Amino acid sequence: MRMIPHSRPTIDQGEIDAVDAVLRSGRLAQGERVLEFEKILASLTGAGGAVAVSSGTAGLHLSLLALGVGEGDEVVIPGFVCPALLNAILYVRALPVLADIDRETFNIDVRDLKRRRTEKTKAVIVPHMFGLPADIGEIVALGVPVIEDCAQALGSRYEGLPIGSFGVLSVFSFYATKVICTGEGGMVAANDRHLLEKIRDLRDYDEKDDHRLRYNYKLTDLQAALGLAQIRRLPVLIERRRAIARQYDAFLRERRLPAPACPPDREHIYYRYVIRTKQVAGLLAAGEEAGIAYRRPVFKPLQHYLGMTGYPRTEKAFIETVSLPIYPSLSDAEVEAILHSLRSVLK
């Protein structure tokens, strides 16, 4: 059997045909496909509108700018995330404030968030980690502007409402191995038209009446065509993820090991299937021997980059978690190979 990667995109003939049609049209840059993609994403999340951008990181950057976050302001984020959030905060010369995570869900811990906020807190970025919604209702109720980071959770729901419909701004990523992919790309959704217009203005620097610092953060029609084909298959893609997760759940139950948490008021899409184990090294080694790419779900917590301490639940998650391959193009035979490998380690 070929090497089973930790992640890979799921592309079918419909998506190839959609991209081919744009190539044959000769209109490759930002255009009608991008506008259509924006409308469909906004409709899916219940937002008043959306602006396509070149990446999720670009979306975070422009969201902070639209909210007026700048030098000396504080932005609270969890530490158990990739550096994209940290980078976006530093782009606007603001101060990152790290919060610890909830032990069960790996999302930002609301109690610790309350302790970390100050009079200088200008925003909170709330990622929905691994496809499971955070306690977004409780966080929004704190009254601090919330940017939802939906990069890993497109299609999930909290209390029956779609993720991306709670924050002042919501940011999505369409990187090659995200829930839907455009290679690179992202989107910012919101109900506030004024904020959306700020972001729309900032994503492109050309043909403006005035000069100010703007960016080249556009999405292309080539990327949007791929995204449109993917988003129309979103329910099928998510159901395949859940079907694989059910097999992993059953395996763990047989061994009386904990499966990933999913509180009853939210829906998990299983962008990642993250397990806790004291045998991380053994599992990583067994995967390498079997040709299966198990990974740590977060390469390095942000406090390690920043030289900070005092985040015990984040540290514990970093030490004791492994992410199993889970994506729609994972075949039944590959799932069985993964389960066989797990049996050799998780006794």
Q: Say if 2 falls within a structural domain.
A: no
The answer to whether residues 124 and 201 belong to one domain is yes
Query: Residue 324's beta-bridge partner residues?
Result: 273
209, 231, 253 — which closes off a domain?
231
- Angstrom distance (rounded) from CA 327 to CA 4: 11
Query: What are 157's two structure tokens?
Result: 């729901």
198, 216, 231 — which closes off a domain?
231
The answer to whether residues 223 and 258 belong to one domain is no
pTM assigned to the model: 0.96
Annotated catalytic residues are 178
- Side-chain half-sphere of 178: how many Cα atoms within 13 Å? 28
The answer to whether residues 207 and 305 belong to one domain is no
Residue 347 has a pLDDT of: 74
Q: Say if 175 falls within a structural domain.
A: yes
Q: How far is CA 303 from CA 82, 115, 308, 311, in A?
A: 11, 17, 5, 8
Indicate which CATH number applies to the domain containing 220: 3.40.640.10
Whether the pLDDT of residue 309 is over 70: the answer is yes
The answer to whether residues 316 and 226 belong to one domain is no
Residue 172 has a pLDDT of: 98
Q: Say if 3 falls within a structural domain.
A: no
Instruction: Please count the other Cβ atoms lying within 10 Å of the Cβ belonging to residue 40.
Output: 17
Residue 112 has a pLDDT of: 98
Residue 2 has a pLDDT of: 82
Kindly state the average pLDDT of the residues 122-141. 98
The answer to whether residues 204 and 107 belong to one domain is yes
Indicate which CATH number applies to the domain containing 306: 3.90.1150.10
The answer to whether residues 287 and 223 belong to one domain is no
For residue 80, give the nearest of 271, 296, 318 by alpha carbon. 318
The answer to whether residues 85 and 177 belong to one domain is yes
231, 250, 275 — which closes off a domain?
231
The answer to whether residues 187 and 271 belong to one domain is no
Q: Say if 151 falls within a structural domain.
A: yes
Q: Which amino acid is at 174?
A: F
Residue 1 has a pLDDT of: 57
Whether the pLDDT of residue 99 is over 70: the answer is yes
End-to-end CA distance of the chain: 24
Q: Say if 37 falls within a structural domain.
A: yes
Q: Say if 7 falls within a structural domain.
A: no
Kindly state the average pLDDT of the residues 160-182. 97
Q: Say if 178 falls within a structural domain.
A: yes
Q: Say if 82 falls within a structural domain.
A: yes
Taking only the tens place, the pLDDT of each residue in 283-307 is 999 999 999 999 999 999 999 999 9
The answer to whether residues 126 and 251 belong to one domain is no
The answer to whether residues 166 and 289 belong to one domain is no
The answer to whether residues 291 and 221 belong to one domain is no
Q: How far is CA 221 from CA 32, 89, 107, 119, 322, in A?
A: 7, 29, 34, 43, 36
Average pLDDT, the chain: 97
Kindly state the average pLDDT of the residues 52-58. 98
The answer to whether residues 116 and 259 belong to one domain is no
Domain span at residue 307? 234-343
Domain count, the chain: 2
Residue at token pair 């299937």: 273
